[in-house]
Amino acid sequence: MSAIVRFLTRRRGGKGWHWTDIVTWAWLVGGLLIMFGPAVWLVGSSFKSPAALAEFPPTILPYVTQKVTVEGYDKPLDLYEATLEDGSTVVLAEVRRIGVTSQMVDPAKPGEIIKVNIAKRTPVREMSFATANYTEPFTHFDFVRYLWNSVFVTVTATLITLIVNSMAAFALSKYEFRGRTVAMLVILATLMVPLSVIMVPLYSIVSALGLFNNLWGVILPTVATPTGVFILRQYMLTIPDELVDAARMDKASEWQIYWRIILPLTAPALAVLAIFSVVWRWNDFLWPLIVLSRKELYTLQVGLSIYSGELNVQWHFILAMTVVTMIPVVLVFIFLQRFITTGIAGTGLK
Amino acid sequence: MDESGRSGLGQIAMMPIHFLMGVLDAPLRWLQRATGINGMAAFFLLPNMMIFGVFVLLPFFINFAYSMTGGTALFLPDRSFVGADQYARLFDCGSYIDPGSCAEDTFWTAVRNTGWFVVLQVTLMILVSLVTALILNRELMARSFWRAVFFFPVLLSPVVVGLIWKWILQRQGLLNFGLYSLGFDPYVWLNDRNWSFAATIGVSIWAHMGFYTLILLAGLQAIPKDLYEAAEMDGTRPARAFWRITLPLLMPNLLVVVVLVLIRAVQIFDEVYVLTGGGPGTSTLYLTQYIYETGFAAQLRNPGLAAAASILMGAVLVVLTLLQLGLGRSEKKGGRK
């Protein structure tokens, strides 16, 4: 506790608040609000009913108007607190609204209609989480399918990335062969050809291979990432060659050396690459947008962007689906934050 | 490495993989006998090189061929050769300052928008991430927490980023709520050309600043503390220490970050596509979206023109990447980090 107090009151130079202390705290607290605020607001909004979402000014927490079933009426009626002409306030249920006049009934005495000016009534509200925003897309839309497509693409692409890149890195770090430098340079050159530059010809190649409208068309072009080869190679270079030589003496095949010795020792670097591959592939957008034109093949990202264009009014579904899309990445962030931030600083990866 | 003492669960999960790898061993031993030990390098390199060749190298070269053809057909053999016509079309302008006078006016609008976007976004991004890095480099409690706060949006998908901000900037959004509480009228920000443009800059900074902050922070932490102590002993004021110690020693990292931000800014697409869709009008139409729409949007499809435009963009990116690789190398040679 005293450490916290000492920390909170620590200032530059010791006495008095230096202006840099104020800037620091303003920046940090402002940063906290600006960085987390929008996502928190999104999650909060995703639990609001469509009516609450259309409201302005919005409420912080999700509220809905309380409803009551009144004898003689088929549907449940909205409850209002109305101020009557004699100045007393009563809780009434609204039957219908005509112009500025609202026809209301006392839920206890449903026979008698009371007319109230709409300015003289306020809805009786209760907090309610519209979980239907989450459950309905599962039944009404192809949401589960999108989810499955995204999971399939992410998992498969990551596995292939790890295997293919580690094999290449092994070759480039533990063998002497002609053309090694050329291979390195060619892989390095990929850094200069991002997707946005080659998407037109890539599209035709993927189509020619019959992978248009196929999840493999999304997966394959992404798996030979140069960053992956480089991280793994740098790591494998630190593994002593004597280990490989000793294994060869013991009559291990090159393949066994790769998967029994090198791969387990490269585990930390593989883990970093795996985390990043998962985040990259889960978040991919432009390429899936180009390759997938059949609805049932959409990944979450594509489905979400198409829906947000088509169902502009149905924000309640879009918000809920956005939250679901965020979940895996937020989990990765919560559990692996320490590794990711140090991993990035160390390798300049992303 | 079965004896390395891994947990039982991990061991079970690895079993099918070990089995698969084991099955492959016999044929690969045979291959090894045929090619020799160093020949196996080719085998290990092969899968990566094949995927890489088909999906990166091949398209890279075909791109040039594409840019020399016309028509709407997809496959190269079905397309007619038109020489440099597509490039001529892209450069057919009355005046380069006025995109409206060009044959391909949306291309020049996209170029101009991208240019402004790059200049403003890169400047602001560097400023914001440098200030954040400097602040995170102070004596702070829970520094890793604060670091994580600024890093969090980096992991979010561009689609989610676009939707979050679309939701906040809309008429009933949080921003208008704040302004309304202060007595202002709500405004539809994304329907305004200038605000929409500003929003794309702000949102892209929000989404990516944490990444660059982290790189700069690593650079700051590599600066030896005794330099500052010596400066303090000599009575150097902090501001002077910043200009004379921090900035010069951070310069290599800063330059790498500038080029990285540039490379990313030139290619901006995803979050903008979701946030504004390039609009209103063409006020946030950037190059990648121009290429995407020219190449793939059903009615206007002209793959040749899109390829030509992407080669022009690629030329800029190649220069920037070479610059970054050069800077990265000189930074390593300097022996820092």
Residue of A nearest to B322 (CA): A192
φ, ψ for residue A127, nearest 5 deg: -75, 135
Indicate the pTM of the whole model.
0.85
The alpha carbon torsion through A36, A38, A39, A44 (nearest 10 deg) reads 120
Q: What's the token pair of residue A25?
A: 């705290």
Partners of A63 in the β-ladder: A127
φ, ψ for residue A72, nearest 5 deg: 95, -10
What whole-number distance in Å separates Cα of residue A124 and Cα of residue A114?
17
For chains A and B, count residue pairs whose Cβ atoms are closer than 8 Å: 294
- Sort A139 into a burial class: Cβ within 10 Å, 0-12 / 13-18 / 19+: exposed
Contact present, A206 and A291 (Cβ < 8 Å): yes
Highest averaged pLDDT of the listed ranges A248-252, A323-327, B73-77, B195-199: B195-199
What whole-number distance in Å separates Cα of residue A283 and Cα of residue A329?
9
Q: What's the token pair of residue A60?
A: 């912080």
pLDDT of residue A55: 74
Taking a contact as any Cβ pair under 8 Å apart, which residues of chain B between 43 and 82 contact chain A?
A: 43-45, 47-49, 51-52, 54-60, 62-63, 65-66, 74-76
Min CA distance, A272 vs chain B (Å)?
Answer: 14
* Chain center to CA of B285: 17
Task: Flag if B310 and A260 touch (Cβ within 8 Å).
Answer: no
Query: Checking DSSP bridges between strand A89-98 and strand B69-70, what pairing results, if any?
Result: unpaired
Residue of A nearest to B253 (CA): A348
* Full DSSP string of B204-253: HHHHHHHHHHHHHHHHHHTS-HHHHHHHHHTT--HHHHIIIIIHHHHHHH
DSSP three-state, residue A101: strand
Spell out which residues of chain B touch residue A260, defining contact as CB-CB under 8 Å: 1
Task: Flag if B277 and A201 touch (Cβ within 8 Å).
Answer: no
Partners of A90 in the β-ladder: A82
DSSP three-state, residue B331: helix
Average pLDDT estimate for A234-263: 91
pLDDT tens-digit map of B169-198: 988 788 888 888 888 888 888 899 999 999
Question: pLDDT band at residue A312, thresholds of 50, 70 and 90?
Answer: low
pLDDT of residue A82: 79
φ, ψ for residue A97, nearest 5 deg: -125, 130
Highest averaged pLDDT of the listed ranges A15-24, A340-349, B194-203: B194-203
Residue type, A60: I
Q: A288: cis peptide before it, omega within 30°?
A: no
Task: Flag if A254 and B40 touch (Cβ within 8 Å).
Answer: yes
Task: Flag if B63 and A200 touch (Cβ within 8 Å).
Answer: yes
Highest averaged pLDDT of the listed ranges A132-146, A180-194, A246-260, B80-94: A246-260
* Chain center to CA of A123: 35
Residue type, A115: K
Taking phi over 0 as left and psi of -120 to 50 as alpha, with beta for the rest, B142 belongs to left
pLDDT tens-digit map of B95-107: 777 777 788 888 9
